[in-house]
Amino acid sequence: MSLTISCPICGKRDGYEFRFGGEERGPRPDEEGLTHEQWCSYVHMRINKAGIQREWWYHQEGCGSWFTIERDTLTNLEVEGREET
């Protein structure tokens, strides 16, 4: 496992330059009317998809930006060239 990741600013780099930032699930819910369960679900629960998922990465040893890519969790390879959906 030595994946490469495409940073929109720096281009394709070794995966270890980056830090994984979680599944893409949209912004955090509003506070109003929030229940414990909803909050816990947002904070801790994961989809843990087996397949292609959109996810966040941070270019730690690089430009310092957050961006999303698609990666197949069954192969650990970035799926390039797919439009954001």
Per CB under 8 A, does 56 bind other proteins?
A: yes
Per CB under 5 A, does 63 bind Zn ion?
A: yes
Q: How far is the CB of 68 from other proteins (least distance, A)?
A: 9
Per CB under 5 A, does 59 bind Zn ion?
A: yes
Distance CA 84, CA 55 (A): 11
Q: How far is the CB of 40 from other proteins (least distance, A)?
A: 4
Q: How many chain residues are in contact with other proteins, going by CB under 8 A?
A: 43
**Is 84 within 8 Å of 54 (Cβ atoms)?**
yes
**Is 78 within 8 Å of 6 (Cβ atoms)?**
yes
**7 contacts which partner out of other proteins, Zn ion, none, CB within 5 to 8 A by kind?**
Zn ion
